[in-house]
């Protein structure tokens, strides 16, 4: 009997050794290799005016200041807490201060962070810093961005610690995440596409990191990069699908119209609000016309998601009563700007009839706009934007729900009613 147990024990150990060896081989083959690409710049990296100007545009394209600047704080000095399902990430100081910023970093160190998601000391970075997108950035663009950041005023501001729960605050958990969801790779142009389309893809997929908001994430926080729409952290805003015709799909929109919306925040048929207004104001309006057009070309060419059939709602007594109440509220508060038939006065007062932002399955954005109001961004093309005043202090939850239910089911609109509970859930939501 002892001999049998001994033999079984040796077999178990041998089997375990085989499994561990197979696991080691798999880890070796699957582990994301750190990629190095030599700088095209000279060793001392002379930051010419042209390089600095290019870096400034790239910093705008990546909207770096949005995350690395606390409201009212020094630009790029970090300290902003970014909410995630796993806790809060504190953004670092990226000014050229040697003690608390990136002043001691070389161009290679900066490339390592941008492309490989690793800090100067080899520490793995959290993908709240969107290196899964930034890995597509070319070495020449990374060097120009590095030069620009190093030309900024140095700000001494120590970095705050992250506020992440266990085990998400461990490097081991982050290593596992990277093994599953990250592979470094510079953007590769598609030969069958035009240079303009490829430039747009480079900006949208890379520095623009549009998928960070507009793509769904799994339980591990990894993006599917499908641009199919997603609720932002906390459910306070919905970033609409860029492929669905019933949301923000651009397949049937003229390139010039898409470009006007991206560059100026308004077009003849749409306007932006909420986080997208901030993106247009701080980032997109500062890009060259050619880059905006390239992004528009790329967005227009995205594969279209099939349209979801319009909802046909049975005219129940409850629904008719809700619409009647909503119509009265609309006549009192909204008709002066948006018209008796929801036709609006574009571009400043958008039409509500056929408005895709109003009839998406998610009613989060229109609820927030009725409760808290909103402005299109101030841009060169729209320097004095018209605003939507807040009505949260005038209307209770049931009234907001009735108003939006009426808007979503009038003038040809066909979308589900809004509940007072949904309104209440957003009444106290943070405004940024």
Provide mean pLDDT across the span 161-183.
Answer: 94
pLDDT of residue 10: 65
Q: Which two tokens stand for residue 74?
A: 């020094």
Provide mean pLDDT across the span 257-264.
Answer: 95
Kindly report which listed range (190-194, 266-270, 413-417) carries the lowest average pLDDT score: 266-270
Quick one: pLDDT band at residue 375, thresholds 50, 70, 90? confident
pLDDT of residue 39: 77
Over 60: is that where the pLDDT of 353 sits? yes
Find out if CATH 2.60.40 is the number for domain 195-300.
no
Residues linked to residue 163 through DSSP beta bridges, in sequence order: 88
Quick one: pLDDT band at residue 31, thresholds 50, 70, 90? low
Residue 93's alpha-carbon distances to 74, 81, 101, 146, 153, in angstroms, are 10, 12, 5, 14, 12
Integer Cα distance of 330 and 391 in angstroms: 12
Provide mean pLDDT across the span 253-266.
Answer: 95
Q: What tens digit of pLDDT does each residue of 38-96 get?
A: 776 654 456 789 999 999 999 999 999 999 999 999 999 999 999 999 999 999 999 99
Integer Cα distance of 329 and 57 in angstroms: 46
pLDDT of residue 311: 62
pLDDT of residue 29: 44
Provide mean pLDDT across the span 11-23.
Answer: 60
pLDDT of residue 24: 47
CATH topology of domain 317-427: Cytochrome Bc1 Complex; Chain D, domain 2 (1.10.760)
- State the helix-helix crossing angle for 275-282 and 255-264, rounded to 10 degrees: 90
Provide mean pLDDT across the span 213-241.
Answer: 92
Quick one: pLDDT band at residue 302, thresholds 50, 70, 90? very high
pTM of the predicted model over 0.75: yes
Quick one: pLDDT band at residue 336, thresholds 50, 70, 90? very high
């Amino acid at each position: 009997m002892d001999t049998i147990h001994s033999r079984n024990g040796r077999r178990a150990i041998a089997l375990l050794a085989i499994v561990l060896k197979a696991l080691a081989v798999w880890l070796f083959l699957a582990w994301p290799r750190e990629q190095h690409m030599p700088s095209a710049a000279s060793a001392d990296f002379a930051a010419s005016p042209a390089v600095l100007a290019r870096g400034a545009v790239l910093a705008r394209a990546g909207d770096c200041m949005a995350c690395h600047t606390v409201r009212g704080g020094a630009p790029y000095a970090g300290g902003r807490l970014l909410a995630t399902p796993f806790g809060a990430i504190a953004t670092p100081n990226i000014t050229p201060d040697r003690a608390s910023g990136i002043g001691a970093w070389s161009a290679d160190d900066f490339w390592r962070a941008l492309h490989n998601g690793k800090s100067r000391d080899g520490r793995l970075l959290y993908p709240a810093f969107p290196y899964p997108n930034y890995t597509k950035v070319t070495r020449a663009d990374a060097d120009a961005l590095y030069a620009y950041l190093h030309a900024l005023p140095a700000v001494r501001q120590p970095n705050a610690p992250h506020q992440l729960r266990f085990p998400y605050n461990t490097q081991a958990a982050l290593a596992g995440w990277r093994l599953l969801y990250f592979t470094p790779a510079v953007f590769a142009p598609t030969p069958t596409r035009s240079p303009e389309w490829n430039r747009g893809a480079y900006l949208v997929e890379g520095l623009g990191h549009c998928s960070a908001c507009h793509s769904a994430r799994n339980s591990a926080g990894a993006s599917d990069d499908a641009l199919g729409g997603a609720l932002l952290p906390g459910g306070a805003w919905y970033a609409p699908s860029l492929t669905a015709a019933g949301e923000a799909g651009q397949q049937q929109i003229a390139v010039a119209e898409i470009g006007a919306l991206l560059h100026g925040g308004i077009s003849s048929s749409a306007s932006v609000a909420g986080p997208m207004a901030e993106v247009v104001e701080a980032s997109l309006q500062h890009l060259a016309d050619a880059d905006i057009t390239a992004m528009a070309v790329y967005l227009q060419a995205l594969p279209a998601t099939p349209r979801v059939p319009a909802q046909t709602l049975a005219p129940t007594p409850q629904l008719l009563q809700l619409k009647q109440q909503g119509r009265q509220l609309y006549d009192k508060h909204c008709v002066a700007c948006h018209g008796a038939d929801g036709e609006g006065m574009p571009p400043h007062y958008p039409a509500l009839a056929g408005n895709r932002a109003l009839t998406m399955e998610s009613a989060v954005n229109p609820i927030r706009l009725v409760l808290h109001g909103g402005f299109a961004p101030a841009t060169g093309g729209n320097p004095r934007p018209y605003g939507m005043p807040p009505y949260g202090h005038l209307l209770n939850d049931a009234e907001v729900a009735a108003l939006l239910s009426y808007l979503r089911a009038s003038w040809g609109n066909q979308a589900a009613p809004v509940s007072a509970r949904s309104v209440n859930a957003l009444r106290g939501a943070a405004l940024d």
